[in-house]
Amino acid sequence: MSAGALTLGALAGPQTFNAMAAARLVACYPEFGRIVYFPTSEATIEAAARGEVDAACGQEQTSLNGFHTGMQARLAAPQSQLHIVAEVSQRYRCSLLGKPGSEIGALRRVLGHDGSIAHSRRWLEASLPGAAIEVVTTSSLGAARAVLEGDGSIGSVGSPSIAREFGLAELVKEIDDGSVVNYWAVSREPRFSRTPDRLVVAWRCGEGSPMTGFIGAIAETGFVLQAIYPRATGTALFEYDYLFRFCGSGRLDDVRAALKPYHGARLAGAWIVRTESP
């Protein structure tokens, strides 16, 4: 595939944390080129599911709160048609933003996107006990606009680049306790590496499922279990839609052959982790 041939969906605009991760994906995976922005996280992933973009950037897990259950559940569902094709990690570095001239003590409301608030909530609750903390449904750009249009009593959580874009003041920097976020690029097409170093397998297992044999079979192809996400099916005890994450090195063909005896197991991702463009 030629460099820059694939489009990548991201949230809202270049200043959001999601869009910064998308830019890192483009830098690390040269098959991605143009970034296309969507108004909400849901719209971003849905665009990839419909094939409007070749892939979409979304959170996989965070150092603070663990798995992003929305993304994990979407990939784990038996009817899912999404595949993981790339990933990057980045520090969040949330800032408390305010209208120029405003003071922290005057803030009565703090707005932010769900990820920004989740990572900074501990600091916000300890430092601004009298302020209402509100999650916006759009993005941190929408929260920043509310600050700009307000009377100085509204703050928001966002990136330093949002402060520069909107002319807001960074009242306090890095209020997220050093939180690190891992992002996936998910695609409707299984654009898998032939020699991956990461795998994700989606599989619905119930009581008596040969899970041990399955993990052993994947180990024989060169991969060890790294993490498991369980999503309760809501229909039976001990029945879950699992995402099994493996790391190691091996051949895609060997992995596919190893999965054949395990009915319903779906290879949901096979990629190489990159920290910079090859």
- Would you say residue 120 lies in a domain? yes
Query: What is the number of structural domains in the chain?
Result: 2
- Would the pTM of this model clear 0.85, i.e. be above it? yes
End-to-end CA distance of the chain: 14
- Would you say residue 276 lies in a domain? no
**In the numeric block, which tokens belong to residue 111?**
């707005």
- Would you say residue 51 lies in a domain? yes
Q: Tell me the per-residue pLDDT of 209-255, one tens digit each, with 9 for 90 and over.
A: 999 999 999 999 999 999 999 999 999 999 999 999 999 999 999 99
Same-domain pairing of 188 and 75:
yes
Q: Tell me the per-residue pLDDT of 191-206, one tens digit each, with 9 for 90 and over.
A: 999 999 999 999 999 9
DSSP 129: T
Same-domain pairing of 130 and 75:
no
Q: Residue 275 — very low, low, confident or very high, per pLDDT cuts 50/70/90?
A: confident
Element (H, E) at 245: strand 240-248
Q: In terms of residue numbers, what domain contains 151? A: 95-178
Instruction: Compute the chain's Rg from CA coordinates.
Output: 20
Same-domain pairing of 85 and 109:
no
Could you tell me which of 262, 180, 174 has the C-alpha nearest to residue 217?
A: 262
Domain end marker among 126, 143, 178: 178
- Would you say residue 1 lies in a domain? no
Kindly give the interhelix angle for 17-28 and 114-127, rounded to the nearest 10 degrees: 130
Domain end marker among 178, 195, 215: 178
Q: What angle do CA 179, 183, 186 make, to 5 degrees?
A: 165
Look at strands 180-187 and 83-91 and give their pairing: antiparallel
Domain end marker among 128, 144, 178: 178
Same-domain pairing of 237 and 208:
yes
Same-domain pairing of 104 and 84:
no
